Chain A
């Protein structure tokens, strides 16, 4: 067993888990953060994507022991009690998600992208979403939403459809 202390969404959290426990399992089973999903468990689908020390990673491919002392951002940390994150709002407005299962992973990849490149091109968006599989939507509206969110986040005027 290993005891892991880390920062999750700005809060210090601790859990004692088996050595083989992945970050994903620790988040879901021990820390009650079920937003990150288990889609394949081998790092192919990206449904488990979280941001560790500023970088989007497959949480199913990290051992919990490896995140000791690190900073992890999950989907649960994006919105606040008053406000939905601009990316989440844009995804809603553009109806980017259908079944929603891939959503948290895609949104975290999008957030990591916009944190680094506030004004991404479409090829850059495609590259950033390359590790997130979606079987429902065809990705087009996700790309639209990310473009919209990037504009919103840079404070540029955008006409919002009512």
Chain B
């Protein structure tokens, strides 16, 4: 790895100040868990001059239920998400998603914020958060600004973050707390595998009419960024919950997806996977809804 200087921030404000200071004259990168940054820098031609280490910012490590909803600090690790009783109770899908990431060692280092900021389309935390209509709270020199997750990603490895900004918190809005959600990942291995396709489905059940309410479906690895399967969502609104409807929603979601062919899988195979995984994610969310009832 090429030489660089490292500055450790005491908290999020300090981190932003360091970013503002150094990004004027140097190529700056932020390190939290380092599972993506360092893996990327080890054998690459490009390198930063300065790395700002934010791993000690304790103010970014909490999981809180507030009036706005569930606020997850950017530095919460995937392991911590798996162990959080609050998240286990409210959103087992987030636990599932965290569990599919890498291996024990990488989950102990890797952070939720880092996973989002790296912004690879195959990220495992994105689809569930997308389905839960998460909002990203960004900290800059002038304070906080909020961006819905749907607007946060610009493309592969590109987000709306400016050079002096930090992803501070991920907020799941109050109205979605406890919403039945299920996440499925398909990779070539059970562990340490990149997703071929990710699918997360979230909906409320109208128990009287037995219909879908406010369905949101997040898809990963099938477009330049994590997307919502909007056509499938529209199709499901107000429709009766049956296996046939779920299967059809899966097929429509496959149309929402625009996957590519690469050495891991063909576009056709990925579309097939979207249909199957989405159907199963809907089934899983429904099972959760029934259990909670």
A and B touch in the complex (CB under 8 A): yes
Q: Is the Cβ of A44 less than 8 Å from the Cβ of B192? A: yes
* A41 to B, closest residue via Cβ: B42
> Residue among A49, A55, A61, A112 with the most chain B CB within 10 A?
A61
* B110 to A, closest residue via Cβ: A61
Q: Is the Cβ of A61 less than 8 Å from the Cβ of B33? A: yes
- Cα(A56)–Cα(B77), bound, Å: 13
With A19-B3, A20-B3, A56-B104 given, is the CB distance from A61 to B55 under 8 Å? no
Q: Is the Cβ of A63 less than 8 Å from the Cβ of B79? A: no
Chain B, 84-135, CB within 8 A of any chain A CB: 102-106, 108-109
Question: Which of B6, B53, B105, B190 is within 8 Å of A43, CB to CB?
Answer: B105
Q: In the complex, which residues of chain B have a beta carbon less than 8 angstroms from the beta carbon of A130?
A: 103-104, 190-192
* B107 to A, closest residue via Cβ: A131
Q: Decide yes or no whether B272 CB sits under 8 A from chain A.
A: no
With A57-B108, A131-B103 given, is the CB distance from A66 to B4 under 8 Å? no
Q: What 1/0 flags go to A60-74 for Cβ under 8 Å of B? A: 111101101000000
* B1 to A, closest residue via Cβ: A20
- Cα(A19)–Cα(B102), bound, Å: 26
Q: In the complex, which residues of chain A have a beta carbon less than 8 angstroms from the beta carbon of B8?
A: 65-66, 68
With A20-B3, A20-B4, A61-B39 given, is the CB distance from A127 to B104 under 8 Å? yes
Question: Which of B31, B53, B106 is within 8 Å of A58, CB to CB?
Answer: B106
Q: Decide yes or no whether A104 CB sits under 8 A from chain B.
A: no
Q: Decide yes or no whether B51 CB sits under 8 A from chain A.
A: yes
Q: In the complex, which residues of chain B have a beta carbon less than 8 angstroms from the beta carbon of A62?
A: 34, 38, 109
Q: In the complex, which residues of chain A have a beta carbon less than 8 angstroms from the beta carbon of B262?
A: none
Q: In the complex, which residues of chain A have a beta carbon less than 8 angstroms from the beta carbon of B3?
A: 18-20
Q: In the complex, which residues of chain B have a beta carbon less than 8 angstroms from the beta carbon of A20?
A: 1-4, 6, 51
- Cα(A66)–Cα(B34), bound, Å: 10
Least CB distance, A22 to chain B, in whole angstroms: 7
Q: Is the Cβ of A128 less than 8 Å from the Cβ of B104? A: yes
Contact size class for A? 20 to 34
Q: Decide yes or no whether A122 CB sits under 8 A from chain B.
A: no
Q: What 1/0 flags go to B50-70 for Cβ under 8 Å of A? A: 010101100000000000000
Least CB distance, A125 to chain B, in whole angstroms: 11
Q: Decide yes or no whether A2 CB sits under 8 A from chain B.
A: yes
Q: Is the Cβ of B105 less than 8 Å from the Cβ of A49? A: yes
Q: Is the Cβ of B38 less than 8 Å from the Cβ of A43? A: yes
Q: Decide yes or no whether A46 CB sits under 8 A from chain B.
A: yes
Q: Is the Cβ of A61 less than 8 Å from the Cβ of B109? A: yes
Q: Is the Cβ of A131 less than 8 Å from the Cβ of B191? A: yes
- Cα(A43)–Cα(B31), bound, Å: 15
With A61-B38, A65-B8, A65-B53 given, is the CB distance from A46 to B2 under 8 Å? no
Q: Is the Cβ of B6 less than 8 Å from the Cβ of A58? A: no
Q: Is the Cβ of B34 less than 8 Å from the Cβ of A131? A: no
Chain A, 1-46, CB within 8 A of any chain B CB: 2, 18-20, 22, 41-44, 46
Interface CB pairs A-B, < 8 A, 17: A2-B6, A19-B3, A20-B3, A20-B6, A20-B51, A42-B38, A46-B105, A57-B108, A60-B38, A62-B38, A63-B53, A65-B8, A66-B31, A66-B53, A131-B102, A131-B103, A131-B105
